[in-house]
């Protein structure tokens, strides 16, 4: 196609893709490498699950920029579609884009979700924040998105372009998958879903981090959670401004005609979308005032080891350090003791020097990253003469690399060390040195006070232990010095003519040497005793292990015998049951019939006897009724008074 037929919008999109896309590619690759250096250089971040997600996100961004954005610049910037050369290039490019693009978004979402879980109020959710689970999640993510890219490999083919019949294009040949690629992949997976997930969980993590001071959490973990949460929140804000235009353009493209203006908007939105993969992380440090040389107005590079970590800030590569102040204040607004005024420092040769105010408008962030600096770090110095307000900040930092000499200690006696009271403690101490909490102190401040006291107590014990070690070493050195002095005195006295003194000194030295040798022999004997005892314990342990193995084998044999015996008994019972079941039952049936007949006869006989007894009982009742009626008639009849003989009735009842 000739250049005269190329519309203004097509030419504009090519120019934007060429220059803006190349800038994003260079800045993104450098920023990704710096991110990996920052996260992999500190052990604290290598063992944290959220940092692990960010490390893999940076790696996915780097791979995506090198494999996908470079091809996008060649195709839409220079107008050379290299995907139509072979089918393999056509299919592999789309698969790579989907795999690493979705992996990057997924890692960003998991990082924000991990920070929400680690700062949540429910301790059960903290179990999901571990490095082992993060590794499994990353592996599952890569496998899942690899399977998701299989339909793209199937349905993307090289066919004749529907817009330009004389050209070939790598496009989708399935209508259903075309609809999914436009709505599901392009709109939901690349825009709406990651943006919604990061926004929701980012706001929840920010709410948790605001209430973190009211909970009993270790100080180092609290500061680490704050740093990582601020990092992911800055990433969230950055993603919102980068992904929102892409989502809006995709939604609007469904209602706009398919002309050059629409294509130009799509290409520009993709170029802007690639800014998601281009960013630089700077590690912010504060140099303590104790190591700054006011007379010479500089500090040596060794002072970097005493620097205090404030956190990370993610900014564009071409941002001036004057504008960087606002980003630094954004990540330190929750730190009450952060200096309100500070100066930038820059490494010049072997020393750190101050950056002048007019130089801040000229120096940019890229001047503080490799290759112009050793690492992506920026150092600050408090621009104030008041040091008491920042004493707590230097002690509360989670990555404080200052030595123990930065604290002021005083010797209470020969056995212990006492800490100097902190500035906020001096005002709260009564004459008896008891801590009185002011009623105006906030609960957050009280929690920090308790944690500071616990941390200082542990440091006090550690320094006391170091002090004892140093004293032991000094005693040994003093003993060696005394021996050397005695030997020098001996050599001086040897040159004198007093032979008796020399003999006595030699005897004394021999006695001391014999004592030292006896002490060494006693120590060696103790060592031999300990070694013999260890040998005995090893042999005894070996015997016990062999006995245990024998007992285990014997128990296994007994168990096998018992199981065998049970199986034999079970087989015997089964055989008996089968024999009883199969035994002929002809005689038994005959006996049963005989017995049934006998029982039937007995039952009939008993029934007849019962009926006869009932019949006779009815007859007897009738006779009794007749007799009773006869006796009643006799009682009613009156006889004359005369001697009467008794009448006897002899009634015999027979059944």
Name the least confident of 28-37, 102-111, 261-270, 450-459: 261-270
pLDDT of 113: 86
Long-range contacts of 354-358 (CB under 8 A, 24+ apart): 354/297, 354/381, 355/321
pLDDT at 114 over 80: yes
Higher pLDDT, 1 or 489: 489
Per-residue pLDDT of 342-353, as tens digits, reads: 888 877 766 788
- Copy the structure tokens of residue 196: 């919604």
Higher pLDDT, 330 or 406: 330
Name the least confident of 273-282, 320-329, 550-559, 643-652: 643-652
pLDDT at 40 over 80: no
Confidence of residue 144 (pLDDT cuts 50, 70, 90): very high
Per-residue pLDDT of 270-294, as tens digits, reads: 555 455 445 555 667 777 777 777 7
pLDDT of 416: 35
Higher pLDDT, 63 or 5: 63
Residue whose C-alpha is closest to residue 184's, from 242, 250, 238: 250
pLDDT at 155 over 70: yes
pLDDT at 403 over 50: no
Confidence of residue 140 (pLDDT cuts 50, 70, 90): very high
pLDDT at 573 over 80: yes
Name the least confident of 433-437, 470-474, 569-573, 599-603: 433-437
Residue 251: other Cβ atoms inside 10 A: 12
pLDDT at 432 over 70: no
Higher pLDDT, 228 or 600: 600
Distance, in Å, from the CA atom of 460 to the CA atom of 468, rounded to the nearest integer, reads 12
Q: Give the mean model confidence (pLDDT) for residues 311-334.
A: 72
Select, from the ranges 60-74, 383-397, 414-428, 485-499, the one with the highest average predicted confidence (pLDDT). Answer: 60-74
Tell me the domains of the chain and their CATH numbers: 10-275 (1.20.1070.10), 283-406 (3.10.20), 417-476 (no CATH)
| Residue partners of 444: CB distance under 8 A and separation at least 6 | 213, 214
Burial zone of 503 (CB within 10 Å; 0-12 exposed, 13-18 middle, 19+ buried): exposed
Higher pLDDT, 565 or 36: 565
Confidence of residue 191 (pLDDT cuts 50, 70, 90): confident
Overall pTM surpassing 0.75 (yes/no): no
pLDDT of 585: 56
Q: Give the mean model confidence (pLDDT) for residues 101-115.
A: 85
Distance, in Å, from the CA atom of 633 to the CA atom of 185, rounded to the nearest integer, reads 123
pLDDT at 613 over 80: yes
| Residue entry with tokens 């040998």 | 535
Q: Give the mean model confidence (pLDDT) for residues 439-448.
A: 57
| Residue entry with tokens 């250089």 | 41
DSSP H helices in 356-442:
357-360, 391-396, 423-426
pLDDT at 404 over 50: no
* Nearest-10 crossing angle of helices 193-210, 219-253: 150
Distance, in Å, from the CA atom of 329 to the CA atom of 338, rounded to the nearest integer, reads 9
Select, from the ranges 12-26, 209-223, 617-631, the one with the highest average predicted confidence (pLDDT). Answer: 617-631
Per-residue pLDDT of 62-105, as tens digits, reads: 887 787 777 777 776 676 777 777 888 888 888 888 888 888 88
DSSP H helices in 302-390:
321-331, 357-360
Q: What is the mean pLDDT of the chain?
A: 71
**HSE toward the beta carbon, residue 44, CA cutoff 13 A:** 15
DSSP H helices in 47-162:
49-64, 70-76, 87-118, 131-148, 150-155
pLDDT of 431: 37
pLDDT at 538 over 80: yes
Task: Say whether the peptide bond before residue 371 is cis (omega within 30 degrees of 0).
Answer: yes
Select, from the ranges 45-54, 348-357, 555-564, 618-627, the one with the highest average predicted confidence (pLDDT). Answer: 555-564
Give percent of the chain with pLDDT exceeding 90. 1
Name the least confident of 430-444, 500-514, 599-613: 430-444
């Amino acid at each position: 196609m000739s250049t005269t037929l190329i519309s203004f919008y097509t030419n504009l999109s090519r120019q934007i893709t060429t220059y803006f896309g190349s800038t994003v590619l260079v800045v993104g690759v450098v920023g990704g490498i710096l991110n990996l250096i920052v996260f992999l250089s500190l052990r604290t971040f290598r063992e944290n699950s959220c940092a692990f997600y960010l490390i893999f996100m940076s790696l996915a961004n780097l791979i995506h920029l090198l494999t996908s954005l470079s091809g996008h610049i060649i195709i839409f910037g220079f107008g050379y579609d290299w995907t139509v050369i072979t089918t393999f290039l056509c299919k592999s490019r789309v698969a790579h884009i989907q795999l690493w693009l979705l992996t990057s978004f997924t890692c960003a979402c998991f990082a924000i979700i991990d920070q929400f879980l680690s700062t949540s109020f429910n301790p059960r959710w903290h179990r999901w924040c571990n490095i082992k689970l993060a590794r499994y999640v990353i592996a599952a993510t890569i496998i899942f998105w690899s399977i998701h890219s299989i339909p793209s490999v199937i349905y993307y083919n090289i066919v004749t372009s529907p817009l330009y019949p004389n050209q070939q294009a790598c496009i989708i040949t399935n209508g259903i998958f075309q609809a999914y690629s436009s709505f599901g992949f392009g709109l939901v997976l690349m825009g709406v879903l990651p943006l919604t997930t990061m926004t929701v969980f980012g706001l929840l993590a920010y709410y948790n981090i605001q209430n973190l001071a009211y909970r009993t959490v270790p100080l180092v973990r609290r500061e680490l959670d704050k740093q990582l949460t601020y990092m992911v929140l800055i990433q969230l804000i950055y993603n919102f401004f980068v992904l929102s235009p892409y989502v809006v353009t995709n939604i609007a493209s469904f209602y706009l005609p398919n002309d050059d203006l629409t294509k130009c908007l799509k290409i520009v939105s993709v170029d802007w979308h690639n800014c998601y993969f281009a960013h630089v992380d700077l590690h912010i440090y504060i140099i303590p005032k104790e190591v700054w040389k006011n007379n010479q107005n500089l500090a040596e590079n060794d002072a970097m080891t005493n620097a205090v970590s404030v956190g990370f800030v993610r900014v564009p590569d071409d941002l001036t350090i004057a504008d960087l102040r606002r980003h630094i204040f954004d990540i330190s607004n929750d730190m009450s003791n952060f200096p309100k005024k500070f100066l930038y420092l820059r490494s010049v040769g072997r020393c750190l020097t101050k950056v002048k105010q007019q130089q801040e408008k000229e120096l940019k962030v890229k001047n503080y990253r490799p290759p112009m600096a050793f690492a992506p770090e920026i150092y600050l110095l408090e621009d104030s003469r008041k040091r008491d307000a920042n004493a707590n900040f230097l002690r509360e930092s989670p990555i404080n690399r200052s030595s123990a000499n930065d604290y002021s200690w005083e010797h209470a006696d020969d056995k212990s060390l006492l800490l100097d009271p902190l500035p906020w403690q001096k005002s709260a101490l009564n004459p008896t040195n008891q801590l009185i909490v002011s009623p105006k102190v906030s609960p957050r401040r009280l929690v920090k006070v308790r944690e500071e006291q616990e941390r200082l107590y542990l440091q006090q014990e550690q320094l006391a232990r170091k002090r004892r070690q140093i004293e032991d070493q000094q005693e040994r050195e003093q003993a060696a010095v005394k021996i050397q002095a005695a030997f020098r005195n001996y050599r001086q006295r040897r040159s004198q003519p007093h032979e008796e003194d020399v003999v006595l000194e030699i005897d004394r030295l021999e006695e001391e040497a014999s004592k030292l040798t006896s002490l060494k022999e006693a120590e060696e004997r103790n060592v031999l005793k300990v070694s013999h005892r260890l040998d005995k314990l090893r042999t005894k342990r070996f015997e016990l292990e062999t006995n245990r193995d024998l007992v285990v084998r014997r128990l296994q044999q007994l168990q096998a015998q018992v199981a065998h015996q049970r199986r034999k008994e079970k087989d015997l019972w089964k055989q008996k049951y089968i024999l009883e079941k199969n035994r002929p039952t002809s005689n038994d049936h005959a006996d049963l019939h005989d017995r049934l007949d006998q029982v039937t006869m007995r039952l009939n006989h008993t029934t007849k006897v019962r009926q006869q007894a009932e019949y006779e009982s009815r007859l007897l009742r009738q006779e009794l009724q007749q007799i009773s009626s006869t006796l009643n008639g006799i009682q009613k009849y009156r006889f004359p008074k005369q001697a009467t003989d008794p009448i006897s009735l002899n009634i015999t009842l027979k059944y």
